[in-house]
Structure 1
Amino acid sequence: MSELEESLYALDWSDCIGVVIITLIIYDYMLQLEKEVTFVWERQMSVMAYLYLVVRYFGIVLAMIFGIWGGLIYMPEAVSYGILVFMQWGLSGYFCLAEVILIWRLYALYNQSRRILYVLLGLFLPVVALYIGMDIFLWSRPSAVSVQEIVVTPNLKYCAASFHIGPMPAIYASIPIICYDIFLVVLAIVVLVKHLKERKELEMKPNTYVVMIVRYHVIYFILNLASQISIVTLWANIPTAERYLVILFKDTAPLIIAPRLIISIWDTHANDNCIHVSTTFEECVCWTSPPALEQPEIDTCV
């Protein structure tokens, strides 16, 4: 394949992936818009509602930039590099926001234990510092990554990122982040095991929300693990098609799943047989009437 053919091949992939990213994000937003109006805009705002709005609309902004960067809309080389840095810093910030949501859920699962909250936040701060350091080292130095303008014809140009170091620094930086996610998953599973044991002794069905939250922790762990792997692979010399498929996953899956995991719990709660919602922790405590007991009990949920 000649150099011209390789450039056209890469440009075709860039444009197609950009269109797919924008289409997926818009389609997902339209699917969830009715529920968003019902569970966010028509109700009193809460901490989780604000977190939802940030991950939803900041995610849409990032996705639009992901889609147009490269070749879909022409940008000068200097502008493209600045936007590339913004995209990577924005994606790291997005992952941090998703971690905050998981921390908030665990805080609810552990009966709003401040000790758990302080431990999680204390361990989370080094993770944030690691994200910042990783973005400075990997994405904010021209000696590590740069943008090259490729001229196919005088009227056909696009920009591509060039990586100047191997994948090992990205691998080393991702290990503590993955370990922190494992810690969150373990805490969630411990709560679930204890909850299932208690419900079995009382001959009651497990709380739907506890099961959902733990399941979502596991889903997010798998998602974040895959995202960290995808970031690492971008630093390796992989074929064009595989590279853009990795980019498609990295630039869409986290931005779609994170807000869905929040709103799906609200949707389940709305269809549940709740007779009282706590005013101190609106989306986290619900009185339900289990068939095995005559008196209602507290079911913790978020």
Structure 2
Amino acid sequence: MAVVYDWVLSFEQELELVWRQRWSLMTVLYICVRYLGILYCVVDVLGNISVSITDAVSNLLYFTLIWMPVVVNTMLGVIMMTRIHAMYQQSRKMLIFLVVLLLASTIASGVMSVMEAIGASGVEAVLSGYHMCLSNIPDTEEINLSHEVFIPTTVWDMLALILAVWIVVKHVYELRQSSTRFTFADCFMVLIQSHVLYFVAVVTVSCLNLSLLSPYILYSASVGSDIDTFILHIAKVVQMFVLGPRLILSVREYYAKLVTRSDEGTGVTTIAFQERGQVSTGGDV
């Protein structure tokens, strides 16, 4: 419900900053991540409510829940790759490095998802008179893979975080060494408002995923283990489908304000943070 609630809250922004702007790669990525998130939540709810469904439908729901995070995390990776490439002044070497790294992460996650799906299935079960869609995973190795599949994505996110922090620190140092007037709020508003929260969510999800790799927690029937799993599920949904789309909305809103302030004749200092050197809410930002 958090995803739908966030979509309703930000729909006016979406209408102005996405649908009414010229289409670009970022536009397509935003729409895919936002509305796949809503679909993911609907599928998740259908798998946990009392509805009589066939095993075929259960299989469809189960494999949707397996593959959608892989697809969405790849899209978020493309968004972050574009941002970091722009922050490094569109360095070709950095772009090649990021593309190779993201491809390696995506392929590894895809292969592990295929291995997880082999032999696994979704089945309809009746528990105390309630119809439920449950996953049938016969092998403990496949159970482990359901958590290990996020390790390649975690590696990518951590490296993206390191690269972003490094260029920000370098930029601050260069500004302090120069005579250029430095305005922190103007330069790094985008990072503070969206990227920091996104990276905090990524670190939280990564830590919870790694904790569940411990057999003492993964195979435990304790309340604490159930709470960890529940928190991980919520954190993943918020990271992918709430903070993910806001990466684009916040940057477009920021540059829309820059255009307005520029039209009013207000001087601003900003970091090079978009492609093609254009300040436009409709560009690939």
The interval holding the TM-score normalised by the smaller chain is: 0.7 to 0.9
Distance in 2 (CA, whole Å) between partners of 1:221 and 1:38 is 26
Q: Is 40-49 or 246-255 further displaced after alignment?
A: 246-255
1:183 counterpart (156, 159, 167) = 159
1:257 counterpart (234, 243, 248) = 243
2:127 counterpart (149, 152, 155) = 152
Deviations 1:226-252 (A, max 9, x none): 334555639923547524454333334
Distance in 2 (CA, whole Å) between partners of 1:67 and 1:253 is 18
Question: What percent identity do the matched residue pairs reach?
Answer: 23
1:275 counterpart (220, 242, 262) = 262
1:300 counterpart (272, 275, 283) = 272
Contact 1:151 1:157 in 2 (8 A): yes
Is 1:77–2:55 an aligned residue pair?
A: yes
Distance 1:218 1:152, change over 3 A: same
Distance 1:178 1:251, change over 3 A: closer
Indicate the residue corresponding to 1:30 in structure 2.
Answer: 8
Contact 1:148 1:160 in 2 (8 A): yes
Distance 1:152 1:180, change over 3 A: closer
| Structure with bigger gyration radius | 1
SS of residue in 2 equivalent to 1:149? strand
Is 1:289–2:271 an aligned residue pair?
A: no
SS of residue in 1 equivalent to 2:140? coil
Q: Within 5 Å, which residues of 2 pair with 1:60-75?
A: 60-75=38-53
Is 1:99–2:77 an aligned residue pair?
A: yes
Contact 1:151 1:158 in 2 (8 A): yes
Deviations 1:116-154 (A, max 9, x none): 11110012111111111111112x122xx443433235x
Q: Is 166-175 or 110-119 further displaced after alignment?
A: 166-175
SS of residue in 2 equivalent to 1:125? helix
1:131 counterpart (109, 132, 141) = 109
- Using the size of structure 1 for normalisation, the TM-score is 0.74
TM-superposed CA distance for 1:171, in Å, is 5.7
Contact 2:33 2:241 in 1 (8 A): yes
What RMSD in Å do the two structures reach over aligned CA positions? 3.0
SS of residue in 2 equivalent to 1:151? strand
Contact 2:55 2:123 in 1 (8 A): yes
Contact 2:150 2:209 in 1 (8 A): no
Indicate the residue corresponding to 2:168 in structure 1.
Answer: 192
1:141 counterpart (108, 114, 118) = 118
Is 1:120–2:94 an aligned residue pair?
A: no
Distance in 2 (CA, whole Å) between partners of 1:298 and 1:224 is 26
More RCO (CA 8 Å, sep 6+): 2
Unaligned runs of 5+ in 2: 274-284
Deviations 1:142-187 (A, max 9, x none): 2xx443433235x632122244315654565544432222221111
Larger strand share, 1 or 2? 1
Indicate the residue corresponding to 1:237 in structure 2.
Answer: 219
Distance 1:179 1:203, change over 3 A: same
Distance 1:45 1:169, change over 3 A: closer
Distance in 2 (CA, whole Å) between partners of 1:182 and 1:156 is 42
Unaligned runs of 5+ in 1: 1-22, 277-286, 291-296
